[in-house]
Amino acid sequence: MALTPSTMLPLGTSAPDFTLPEPLSCKPVSLADVQGEKATLVMFICNHCPFVRHVEDALLDLARVFMPQGLGVVAISANDAQSYPEDSPPKLAQRARDKNYPFHYLYDETQQVAKAYGAACTPDFFLFDEHLQCIYRGRFDDSRPGSDIPVSGKDLRQALELHLAGRPVDIAQVPSIGCNIKWKAESES
């Protein structure tokens, strides 16, 4: 398990557009489909990563609290499913069903969307304002698997609370850290 930090997309960057398949519904889902009225959270996760599993329940709670307040949320897995079968589309659909994800969980088979966002690890979080301009990117909180720090989502939660209150997100933005995205061999992508 190699620790990989996020690359920290520049603040103010426009959210790269995408349309990706959702394994659970077998339908394509676009950025416009998931865009929230007040903000949009794009996150790169996967099924097998212990860092994602560590924050997953708190992340679901956070989504359930903020989605009714105008937050659009989408999860994307970009891992090479051939090398990591637990991250294959059928397994993504099963995870979304089993955990009752309140947001779409998409599969980026070509990995082009992950590359467009500069995603490097799982989990990797990108928060955009109502105009789809990046206002926060970084960690969920400072808890890690095996640490004594409880999972709170405090970093992402603070960014959301500030933005939804109409205030600038002027907090320290610390890179997320987790498992590296499992990239396909160059000849395959």
Q: How far is C-alpha 146 from the geometric centre of its chain's CA atoms?
A: 22
| Three-point CA angle 54, 56, 57, nearest 5° | 105
Distances (CA, A) of 44 to 35, 80, 110, 166, 177: 16, 13, 14, 26, 12
Segment 76-95, tens digit of pLDDT: 999 999 999 999 999 999 99
pLDDT confidence of residue 3: 75
- Across the chain, what does the average pLDDT equal? 94
pLDDT confidence of residue 186: 61
Binned at pLDDT 50, 70 and 90, residue 189 comes out as very low
In the predicted model, what is the mean pLDDT of residues 47-71?
96
> Could you tell me the sign of the dihedral formed by the alpha carbons of 78, 82, 87, 91, in that order?
positive
Binned at pLDDT 50, 70 and 90, residue 65 comes out as very high
CATH no., domain 3-180: 3.40.30.10
pLDDT confidence of residue 2: 62
In the predicted model, what is the mean pLDDT of residues 24-48?
97
Q: Is pLDDT of 71 > 60?
A: yes
Segment 104-118, tens digit of pLDDT: 999 999 999 999 999
Domain boundaries, the chain: 3-180
Q: Sheet of 3-5: strands edge to edge?
A: 3-5, 177-180, 121-122
Binned at pLDDT 50, 70 and 90, residue 6 comes out as confident
